């Protein structure tokens, strides 16, 4: 039905419909990329200290370095 309603490649209505389809298809990708980027930024900028697998060994290493 859309093909019969739109004149052809040179028709301004055809260009408008193509642009609107592009934006409708692109918006979910933009939304997911923005949320994913924000989550990655929050994760990497949180500044959480890395936990040592053996805390007793870590304290012994600190005392040995003094």
pLDDT digits (tens, 9 = 90+) for 37-56: 999 998 888 766 556 566 66
In this predicted model, which residue has the larger pLDDT, 48 or 13?
Answer: 13
pTM of the complete model beyond 0.85: no
Residue 15 vs residue 62, higher pLDDT = 15
What are the tokens at 1? 């039905």
Pick from 27, 6, 23: nearest CA to 15: 6
Which pLDDT score, from 0 to 100, does residue 24 have?
94
Those residues with Cβ within 8 angstroms of residue 7's Cβ, 6 or more apart along the chain or in another chain: 13, 14
pLDDT at 45 (0 to 100) = 83
pLDDT of residue 17: 85
Predicted local confidence at residue 43, as pLDDT = 86
Residue 50, helix vs strand vs coil: coil
């Amino acid at each position: 039905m859309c093909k019969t309603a739109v004149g052809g490649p040179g028709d301004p209505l055809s260009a408008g419909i193509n642009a609107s389809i592009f934006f409708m298809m692109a918006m979910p990708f933009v939304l997911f990329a923005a949320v994913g980027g924000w989550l990655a930024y929050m994760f990497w900028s949180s500044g959480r200290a890395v936990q040592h697998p053996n805390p007793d060994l870590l304290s012994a290493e600190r005392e040995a370095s003094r």
